[in-house]
A = this chain, B = another copy of it.
Amino acid sequence: MDRFQHPVISRRTFFAALTAILVPIAVACTSLIARAQDDPLPSWNDGVAKKAIVEFVEATTKEGGATFVPAEQRVATFDQDGTLWVEHPMYSQVIYCLDRVPDLVKAKPELKDVEPFKTVLTGDREAIAKLPMHELEKLLAATLTGMTTDEFNAEAAKWTAAAKDPRWKRPYTELTYQPMQEVLRYLRANGYKTYIVTGGGQDFVRVYSEATYGIPPEQVVGTAGSTTYSYGEDGKPILTKEPKLLLNDNNAGKPEGIHLMIGRRPVAAFGNSTGDREMLEYTMAGDGARLAMLLLHDDAEREYAYGPAQGLPDTKVGAFPQELYDEAMKDGWIVISMKKDWKRIFDFE
């Protein structure tokens, strides 16, 4: 007799029963194996930071616990520049924009005597660093907008594959922090959806986020401009990137962007600079177990040292002021010391 024709046990009941028996066994086995296997954070030294991450994950995933967070609410957000990868001496995307200028001038020769393109073409980094904000905005508009999304994606992918950081002589996408990659994987293995919430361009970061961090484009929230839908010469739909800002995903823009793009308050958030402050505040204002972490770049030897918190050198790129450090201490956010908490910085070391 077919068991599914059993008068009492329907096919559905049978499978439900089987699932009820097998799933807990599978979960128990997986958890035993996981425990026996290595530490999920092998690149972290034992200390307050590592302990906080592990305790947070355990507190929020232990079924029946007071601070349990249902799987669908497990949202963790990560700033990118300076939190997941190197941001000094300059954000990679700014280097992309500078690198685009020669091609841009080739296409529009009239630009070669116009600022900021004239200065950028000299290659004089000091002069470039002194360009006023309104000239820099012209540079961003000229290199990041005015083309179709497909054209932009192709250009950015080509650059990302070829460009190299001058200090490590490696693609920028290899300059991600191994300890943070471990945190991303550890959270995902525990049912967390990991998001990038970056002041960088949303379209730019989406080009490499999946391959670099295992974070798909739909989980990248960033500074975003509008696009315009129209039809190309072949009649096919195209989206053109416009120089009109929709979301400046820095400071207050981070929680605003999280609401717009995710619609849930994160349970954990990671940053490294003043631009991440509001995201961490917003995260911590929710109920239950929460985790807010800030990475302090205090390792001039293995990476860079800048603050100006804790007497570290001041910087315009990814500043971590003492005021932010004090807020962290007061509010129970964890400051990660790159020097003390990280055994190694990069995967290739």
Q: Which residues of A contact B (CB under 8 A)?
A: 1-2, 4-5, 11, 26, 29-30, 33, 37, 72, 75, 149, 193, 202-203, 206, 210, 216-218, 220, 224, 226-230, 236-237, 239, 246-247, 252-253, 255-256, 259-264, 278, 281-282, 285
Contacts of A26 in B (CB 8 A): 1-2
Most buried by B among A217, A237, A264: A237
Of all chain B residues, the one with the shortest Cβ separation from A206 is B263
Contact A203 B5 (CB under 8 A): no
Contacts of A37 in B (CB 8 A): 11
Q: Report Cα–Cα, A1/B29, bound state, in Å.
A: 10
Contact of A282 among B229, B247, B285 (CB under 8 A): B229
Contact B256 A217 (CB under 8 A): no
Q: How many copies does the complex hold?
A: 2
Most buried by B among A202, A260, A264: A260
Q: How far is the CB of A40 from chain B (nearest CB, A)?
A: 15
Contact A218 B263 (CB under 8 A): yes
Contacts of A264 in B (CB 8 A): 217-218
Given contacts A26-B1, A210-B72, A216-B72, contact A285 B252 (CB under 8 A): no
Contact B2 A237 (CB under 8 A): no
Q: Report Cα–Cα, A261/B2, bound state, in Å.
A: 49
Give 10 pairs: A residue, B residue, CB < 8 Å, sorted on A: A11-B33, A203-B263, A217-B262, A218-B218, A229-B255, A229-B278, A237-B255, A237-B278, A239-B256, A246-B246
Contact B5 A29 (CB under 8 A): yes
Q: Report Cα–Cα, A2/B5, bound state, in Å.
A: 28
Contacts of A263 in B (CB 8 A): 202-203, 206, 217-218, 220
Of all chain B residues, the one with the shortest Cβ separation from A216 is B72
Q: Report Cα–Cα, A210/B253, bound state, in Å.
A: 26
Contacts A217-B262, A227-B259, A246-B247 aside, 5 further interface pairs with beta carbons under 8 A come to A4-B30, A11-B33, A72-B210, A193-B218, A218-B264
Contact of A261 among B29, B228, B261 (CB under 8 A): B261
Contacts of A261 in B (CB 8 A): 218, 261
Q: How far is the CB of A244 from chain B (nearest CB, A)?
A: 11
Contact of A256 among B2, B227, B236 (CB under 8 A): B227
Of all chain B residues, the one with the shortest Cβ separation from A282 is B237
Q: Report Cα–Cα, A37/B37, bound state, in Å.
A: 41
Contact A260 B33 (CB under 8 A): no
Q: Report Cα–Cα, A29/B3, bound state, in Å.
A: 11
Contact A236 B285 (CB under 8 A): yes
Contacts of A282 in B (CB 8 A): 229, 237, 239
